[in-house]
Chains A and B, each alone.
Chain A
Amino acid sequence: MAETQLIKTYLVIPDLHIRSTIHTYLSKFQVRISDLHEEVCFEVHGSDSLKEAKEALTSQSIDFFIVAQDLVDGNAFDLFSLIKSTSSHLPFAFMSKHITLDLALRATRMGSIDILTVPFSADELRSVAKKAAHQIILDRQTKALEGERKKIRFEFLAVLAHELKAPISAVESYLQIIKTRILGNDFAKYDHMIERSLIRMDGMRRLIFDLLDLTRIESGQKKREIQKINISELIGQIIESLAPMAQAKRVTVMNNLPANMTLMGDIVELQIVFNNLISNAIKYNKNAGQVLLEGQNTGTFLKISIRDTGIGLSADEILRLFGEFVRIRNEKTANIEGSGLGLSIVKKILSIYQGTVTVQSKIDVGSTFEVVFPAVAN
């Protein structure tokens, strides 16, 4: 459970009896702001003068003021003007023994969150304190979220800049070689370099989009829409969208999932999971190879396996496979581009569902990826 949040409150009230009564009451007051899921309590300070209140405003990080109409050296509106000029978010309440409509309007127009008319009840005081606390907590949460967003945005840019260095360098270097005709004037000698440059550009594009997906998942910013999803139908649609990729390699993709396999989930998340796994099964397959999808619903879990007849992975490669920016590089994968993020995104999404992904593989035989969703996700 989160810590209780402290609201530092300053009473500018010349009447010592009223000031000490409010001081005593608020110091013991603890309240739950339900919609913001926070508990708050109050630390109370005070004085009778505008001068001391101004000093507190500048030096004591006060969160909330309750100010009496008439002070020993000024009035409440003098302080309100100062508060507005230094911090537009700091809430304050107006207190008066002889409230009139004009005074109430003036206080409200200046931004007072409420008005306490003396004599006031404990309930009225609680209501004002809770209103102030709500505004303060909301402000704090908004600032924290903005800070978190800035941090995530910075990390996204730092990672993107780092990962783009290699492909940009590769494309630039190829262009320099072509420009200076190092291999002579036979243009056919440069075809391979042009092809490789296009592959690396495609890789950069995919990196950017994958990194955006990963950032959205990690920041929790994307709103999830949970609904009942027919997994077999979803996978059928994905296979259709990947048909050009499969046709280019003459790979056959077979969907043997039971027709009635359903899951409660966010459709975009599940599309990302299965699109990554099925496109990998095609990309890393042999020409004229096969991809087979099978599934099982035992009541306790939902299991989907994606088996390919591809190039396979060594034990070392399997250990590294789900890390971020891991690309398995060998002579067989030299012409296959990937961001290195796909499987780490799959793993992160599955963890949201308390699911898992594992792989079994044999070099030159193929790989089987198995995705398991526990019954609670169904």
Chain B
Amino acid sequence: MSENNQYTILIADDDPDLLDQLKIRLESKNYTILSASSHNEAAQIIEERPFDLAIFDLVMEFQDSGFILSYKLKQKYPERPVIILSSMVHELNVQNQLTAQPDKAWLKADAVIQKGVRFEILHSEIERLLAAATNT
């Protein structure tokens, strides 16, 4: 992937530090970032602004904010990739890459990743999903 990419990523997390850190890291990889510090703010951006990929924190104002936002996004833009970040991936019992149809159909997200995972792993997943979306 070219370092001068033109992709815009929406990130939503109600932890202001984790949001800021993700923004800094993704901007260092030359992504344009739209950031939302709440479920409601993210929902508004989904309606009003264009972007290429979304990363949602699972638990914000609601225990399943990430799933709700993912569902809303997929209804409007089915091919736009979504990553959900959760501190309880093991307890959720879902695959990291939701390529299996039953999981994907239910969760409406393309990947669920453990919060605190190394940034390189998250970045590699972002690149994979953007490449797949570009090729469809």
Distance between B121 CB and nearest chain A CB, rounded to angstroms: 14
Q: How far is the CB of B43 from chain A (nearest CB, A)?
A: 14
- Assess the B14–A329 pair: CB atoms within 8 A: yes
CA distance A165 to B37 in the complex (A): 19
Contact of A166 among B20, B38, B87 (CB under 8 A): B87
Check if B115 is an interface residue, CB within 8 A of chain A. Answer: yes
Q: Which residues of A contact B115 (CB under 8 A)?
A: 165-166, 169
- In the bound assembly, the distance between CA atoms of A329 and B20 in angstroms comes to 14
Flag A199-216 by CB within 8 Å of B: 1 or 0 each: 010000000000000000
In the bound assembly, the distance between CA atoms of A329 and B60 in angstroms comes to 9
Task: Kindly identify, within residues 56 to 106 of chain B, every residue whose CB is under 8 Å from any CB belonging to chain A.
Answer: 60-61, 87
Mark out the residues of chain B between 21 and 46 whose CB falls within 8 Å of any chain A CB in the assembled complex: 21, 24-25, 28, 37-38
User: Which of these, A169, A170, A200, A330, contacts B38 with CB under 8 Å?
Assistant: A330
> By the criterion CB–CB under 8 Å, are A331 and B18 in contact?
no
State the CA gap A173–B61 with chains docked (Å). Answer: 23
Query: Are B24 and A169 in contact (CB-based, < 8 A)?
Result: no
Judge if B17 is at the interface, Cβ distance under 8 Å.
yes
Whether the pair B16, A334 counts as a contact (CB closer than 8 A) is: yes
Interface residues on A, range: 10 to 19
A174 engages B17 (CB within 8 Å): yes
Q: Note all chain B residues with C-beta closer than 8 A to A36.
A: none
Q: Is the interface of A mostly helix, strand, loop or mixed?
A: helix
CB distance from A161 to the nearest CB of B (A): 11
A326 to chain B, nearest CB (A): 10
Q: Give the residues in chain B near A173, CB-CB below 8 Å.
A: 17-18, 21
Report Cα–Cα, A378/B87, bound state, in Å.
Answer: 46
Whether B116 lies near A330 (C-beta < 8 A) is no
Distance in angstroms between the alpha carbons of A173 and B37 in the assembled complex: 18
Chain A residues with CB under 8 A of B14? 329
State in angstroms the CA–CA spacing of A183 and B60 once bound together: 28
A35 in the interface, Cβ–Cβ < 8 Å? no
Q: A177 vs B21: C-alpha distance in the bound complex, in angstroms?
A: 8
Residues of B within 8 A of A177 (CB): 21, 24-25
Q: In the complex, what distance in Å separates the CA atom of A265 from the CA atom of B110?
A: 55
Complex Cα–Cα for A183 and B23 (A): 12
Are B116 and A165 within 8 A (Cβ)? Answer: yes
Could you give, for residues 159-182 of chain A, a 1 whenever the CB lies within 8 Å of some chain B CB and a 0 otherwise? 000100110011011100100001
B21 with A174: CB separation less than 8 A: yes
Q: Is A316 in contact with B116, judged by CB distance below 8 angstroms?
A: no
**Is A196's CB within 8 Å of the partner chain B?**
yes
- C-alpha spacing A46/B107, complex, angstroms: 64
The answer to whether A169 touches B116, judged by C-beta atoms less than 8 angstroms apart, is yes
Is A200 in contact with B25, judged by CB distance below 8 angstroms?
Answer: no
Once the chains bind, are B37 and A334 in contact (CB under 8 Å)? yes
Q: Is B127 an interface residue (CB 8 A)?
A: no
Are B61 and A182 interface neighbours, CB within 8 A?
no
The verdict on A182 contacting B18 (CB below 8 Å), with A316-B61, A331-B37 known, is: no
Please, which residues of chain A bring their CB within 8 A of the CB of B17?
Answer: 170, 173-174, 196, 200
Query: What are 21 A-B interface contacts by the 8 Å CB criterion?
Result: A162-B87, A165-B87, A165-B116, A166-B87, A169-B116, A170-B21, A173-B17, A177-B24, A177-B25, A183-B24, A196-B16, A196-B17, A196-B20, A200-B17, A316-B61, A329-B14, A329-B15, A329-B37, A329-B60, A330-B38, A334-B16
Q: Which 10 A-B pairs have the closest CB atoms?
A: A170-B17, A329-B14, A334-B16, A169-B116, A173-B21, A182-B28, A165-B87, A196-B17, A166-B15, A170-B18
